[in-house]
Chain A
Amino acid sequence: MTDPAPSTFSSPEAIKRLKRRRAADVRFRYYGMGAIVLALGALVMLALSIGSQAVSAATYHVARYDVTLDRAVIAPPGEDTPEEISRNVDGFWSLVRNNLLETFPEADLDRASRTEASEFITRLAVLPAARKVAAEPQLIGNEMTVSAPLNDDLDLYLKGQAFPERRVRVGSLSSASQQEAGLARLEGQGAFTPILSAITSLEADGADLSEGSVLLTAGSSTGRLSDLQPDAASLELLTGTLDDFRSGNATARIIALPEAQRVVSDQQIAWTLALKEMGRISREPRWSLLTNSDSTYPELAGGLAALVGSLFTMLVTALVAIPIGILAAVYLEEFAPKNRLTDFIEVNINNLAAVPSIVFGLLGAAVYLNFLGMPRSAPLVGGLVLALMTFPVVIIASRAALKAVPPSVRSGALAIGASQMQTVFHHVVPLAAPGIFTGAILGMARALGETAPLLLIGMVAFVGDVPKGPTDESTVMPVLIFTWSNNAERAWEPMTSAMIVILLAVLLLMNGLVVFLRRKYERRW
């Protein structure tokens, strides 16, 4: 204490103290960096896991069928109005199926094969073609190429996501000769050694191949191999001709999963590969995700109805929550006396913002549906429920923005004789507007991603039609995601991810709008 000043700078205690302080600085910086890395890592993981799933749903396989639009099938007398044609799904579907049967004569041999072929196209997949013909009746009687998405299981198979499959090239075959009924004998020096060694290595990895299949494909012909030896094997031709095996390079597909446990049979795989070889199957961007409504078939399902439903819901929420929230905030911040009552109100608004969203759903179901008798599953009710949830957020954000306006602006306006109303609406609110709108949009973004309260007011119902107004039955995007994620079929998994990506894109758009508004209207004072 009594030391002269210079010595405190160099004393060992001071230097030690300084070192400790510096070390604390450095530690704190590392904690901060660690937190940021953790947050970024979580974000990247989310983006990767959802993104990688969604990418596979971004495209799908579409098959083309060249059909003649037979009037007797699609527009029989008495059922030939455009409306009836557009609804004649069965007629169009039978045209397409017959085209498939013509392509693969072996499919028409027995009932089981016909059923297997029928599974290629979902009946409803021909609906766009039916609508097109209904709109242009002059097409009837002519040739037309009908494009229809491939069954979701085959689609997944072509994307390699249905089940594990090992592909190996086989050696050149020296002969392929027809034996007794359906079986052929393939021979070639060491031609099947690659298959045998692949099977050995798969079995070494623990795979059980006793009931699996080995399919051999050459050109548009595919058969099932049995009796495998290094130089020879038996082939049960599933589709095509033996000639393909004599000339072309053959590829073997080793599938460990027994056919009985698969959703795609060997026969269907053979036909799919053949169609692909013929160039009749192509991979296309799945715009139907945005243009179709929900469906029980993943290859036909889309999010349009949910998107529009979300839009109507948000519209109702915005119209209710934003004006009420802003006016309440302006009143509380600028006009209301500060007393016990307003304190109490303030505390409760903050509490309201913290109420779990499902409680608002219960409230909505009790008040709007049961007491007021509003329609179930309607965006009107969903919007009102979400508005209840959103407006405390809007109030809190708006009050913070209003508080941030310097009091000098208020006194300046009051001092030249502006009334309180003029002061608030000419000066304070315009300055607070960026903050108010930020709060409003963030509140809306939260509402857009909300699922739980909407489940309780029935917005989880299957909705096949795009809602035309806020009182129509409808669902919203997060609920659609919830529904799809509960579906059993494998194809729903990437579809769900794709829908999540669309929802995130909408949210990102809204947040981008916030940033834009802030930048544009932020003013200095």
Chain B
Amino acid sequence: MDTDHTPQAAGTVTPPTADALPAAAPRIDCRDINVFYGPTQAIHNVSLSFPDRAVTALIGPSGCGKSTFLRCLNRMNDTIESCRVDGQILMDGQNINDHSIDAVLLRSRVGMVFQKPNPFPKSIFDNIAYGPRIHGLASSREDLDAIVEKSLRRAGLWEEVKDRLQAPGTSLSGGQQQRLCIARAIAVRPEVILMDEPCSALDPVATARIEELIDELRKRYCIVIVTHSMQQAARVSQRTAFFHLGNLIEMGETEQIFTNPREKRTEDYITGRFG
């Protein structure tokens, strides 16, 4: 299976739904990505680009490689010993897959939120402050307080936790924990936020809160979200990429994918005939 999408820069086509897609180069541009777990190939020749200030959803059945692909974008696959990533992932014209790029610095620019909320077993304050501390983003206690407050505000959590910043992060509800994790990612001032099924462990109300938040964050960040819920992809994303068996089947404006898919397999998946 060859790459199917027409390589186009984001914004060449003005989508009817996207309100503020800038006519700029894509934030991340992936070219011919192949991922191997030992002898098994998990991703086949995927080329894909992500526009800035927009949400891109990666959808597909379980095991299709969408999470693996997402993890290439901040090199989390480095931690898996048998995993090998080939191809170019360009960010600001630099290949982040290059060994001269330090994964630690990359991850400070590309934040990530996981499937299950994973706050550190520390206080709410320390959860947020940990990133700025290790990256030296705050020069004083006041700075740090300001960063923590700003991050929590952006994650829509400030009002709920401002009186108990010293309470353990794990004492929050699931949805709050996930927003805490988003705030934690925001605190190190990333440009890109990766979300790996961020709502799959949450109830519908908490999910709605997170989705609102994603829509809000879209104004500042390039967001890539992996989701199992097609409704969610339709609700939050401007662009959607459909993966199947490690191949990128189709990539396009979300509305187009959901209303008028070019590929038969995309249509079958969206209409629930498999997956």
Determine if B131 is an interface residue (Cβ-Cβ < 8 Å). yes
Determine if B116 is an interface residue (Cβ-Cβ < 8 Å). yes
- A-contact bits for B105-121, CB 8 A (1 contact / 0 none): 11110011010101111
Q: Which one of B121, B170, B185 lies within 8 Å of A416 (CB-CB)?
A: B185
Chain B residues within 8 Å of A337, by CB: 81
Q: Which one of A409, A411, A419 lies within 8 Å of B79 (CB-CB)?
A: A411
Q: A408-B116, A409-B120, A525-B170 are in contact. Are A415 and B81 (CB under 8 A)?
A: no
A416 vs B107: C-alpha distance when bound (angstroms): 6
Determine if B135 is an interface residue (Cβ-Cβ < 8 Å). yes
Is the Cβ of B107 less than 8 Å from the Cβ of A415? Answer: yes
Determine if A373 is an interface residue (Cβ-Cβ < 8 Å). no
Q: A412-B118, A416-B111, A416-B185 are in contact. Are A422 and B134 (CB under 8 A)?
A: yes
Is the Cβ of B114 less than 8 Å from the Cβ of A412? Answer: yes
Q: Which one of B81, B111, B120 lies within 8 Å of A338 (CB-CB)?
A: B81
Q: Which B residues, 93 to 143, have Cβ-Cβ distances below 8 Å to chain A?
A: 104-108, 111-112, 114, 116, 118-121, 130-131, 134-135
Chain B residues within 8 Å of A4, by CB: none
Determine if A75 is an interface residue (Cβ-Cβ < 8 Å). no
Chain A residues within 8 Å of B167, by CB: none
Q: A409-B120, A422-B134, A525-B170 are in contact. Are A415 and B104 (CB under 8 A)?
A: no
Is the Cβ of A414 less than 8 Å from the Cβ of B79? Answer: yes
Q: Which A residues, 256 to 315, have Cβ-Cβ distances below 8 Å to chain B?
A: none
Is the Cβ of B108 less than 8 Å from the Cβ of A417? Answer: yes
Determine if B146 is an interface residue (Cβ-Cβ < 8 Å). no
Interface residues on B, range: 20 to 34
Smallest CB–CB gap between B79 and chain A, Å?
6
Determine if A321 is an interface residue (Cβ-Cβ < 8 Å). no
Residue of B nearest to A338 (CB): B81
Chain B residues within 8 Å of A410, by CB: 79
Q: Which A residues, 336 to 356, have Cβ-Cβ distances below 8 Å to chain B?
A: 337-338
Determine if B64 is an interface residue (Cβ-Cβ < 8 Å). no
A469 vs B185: C-alpha distance when bound (angstroms): 53
Is the Cβ of A413 less than 8 Å from the Cβ of B120? Answer: yes
Residue of B nearest to A405 (CB): B121
Determine if A426 is an interface residue (Cβ-Cβ < 8 Å). yes
Is the Cβ of B118 less than 8 Å from the Cβ of A431? Answer: no
Determine if A427 is an interface residue (Cβ-Cβ < 8 Å). yes
A258 vs B190: C-alpha distance when bound (angstroms): 96
Q: Which one of A406, A417, A431 lies within 8 Å of B134 (CB-CB)?
A: A417
A419 vs B185: C-alpha distance when bound (angstroms): 15
Residue of B nearest to A422 (CB): B134
Smallest CB–CB gap between B242 and chain A, Å?
25
Smallest CB–CB gap between B150 and chain A, Å?
16
Chain A residues within 8 Å of B121, by CB: 409, 431, 523-525
Determine if B74 is an interface residue (Cβ-Cβ < 8 Å). yes
Determine if A418 is an interface residue (Cβ-Cβ < 8 Å). yes
Chain B residues within 8 Å of A422, by CB: 134
Most chain B C-beta atoms within 10 Å of own C-beta, residue among A412, A418, A431? A412
Q: A408-B114, A417-B104 are in contact. Are A427 and B120 (CB under 8 A)?
A: yes
Q: A338-B81, A412-B114, A422-B134 are in contact. Are A417 and B120 (CB under 8 A)?
A: no
A414 vs B134: C-alpha distance when bound (angstroms): 11
Chain A residues within 8 Å of B226, by CB: none
Is the Cβ of A414 less than 8 Å from the Cβ of B107? Answer: yes
Chain B residues within 8 Å of A406, by CB: 118
A415 vs B74: C-alpha distance when bound (angstroms): 8
Smallest CB–CB gap between A366 and chain B, Å?
40
Chain B residues within 8 Å of A408, by CB: 114, 116, 118
Q: Which A residues, 318 to 366, have Cβ-Cβ distances below 8 Å to chain B?
A: 337-338
Residue of B nearest to A406 (CB): B118
Determine if B35 is an interface residue (Cβ-Cβ < 8 Å). no
Determine if B66 is an interface residue (Cβ-Cβ < 8 Å). no
Smallest CB–CB gap between B178 and chain A, Å?
12
Most chain A C-beta atoms within 10 Å of own C-beta, residue among B108, B116, B130, B184? B130
Determine if B181 is an interface residue (Cβ-Cβ < 8 Å). yes
A419 vs B102: C-alpha distance when bound (angstroms): 10
Chain B residues within 8 Å of A413, by CB: 120, 130
Smallest CB–CB gap between B193 and chain A, Å?
10
Q: Which one of A338, A416, A419, A427 lies within 8 Å of B131 (CB-CB)?
A: A416
Chain A residues within 8 Å of B23, by CB: none
Determine if B208 is an interface residue (Cβ-Cβ < 8 Å). no
Is the Cβ of A416 less than 8 Å from the Cβ of B79? Answer: no
Chain A residues within 8 Å of B74, by CB: 415
A299 vs B112: C-alpha distance when bound (angstroms): 72
- A-contact bits for B204-244, CB 8 A (1 contact / 0 none): 00000000000000000000000000000000000000000
Q: A416-B130, A416-B185, A417-B135 are in contact. Are A411 and B114 (CB under 8 A)?
A: yes
Q: Which B residues, 59 to 115, have Cβ-Cβ distances below 8 Å to chain A?
A: 74, 76, 79, 81, 104-108, 111-112, 114
- Which residues in A have some Cβ–Cβ distance to B below 8 Å? 337-338, 406, 408-419, 422, 426-427, 431, 523-525
15 extra interface residue pairs, beta carbon distance < 8 Å, beyond A416-B108, A416-B111, A416-B188: A408-B116, A408-B118, A409-B118, A410-B79, A411-B76, A411-B112, A412-B119, A413-B120, A415-B74, A415-B185, A416-B185, A417-B105, A417-B188, A422-B134, A523-B121
In the A-B complex, the 9 residue pairs with the smallest Cβ-Cβ separation, listed nearest first, are A417-B108, A408-B118, A415-B112, A417-B107, A416-B131, A412-B118, A525-B121, A523-B121, A417-B104
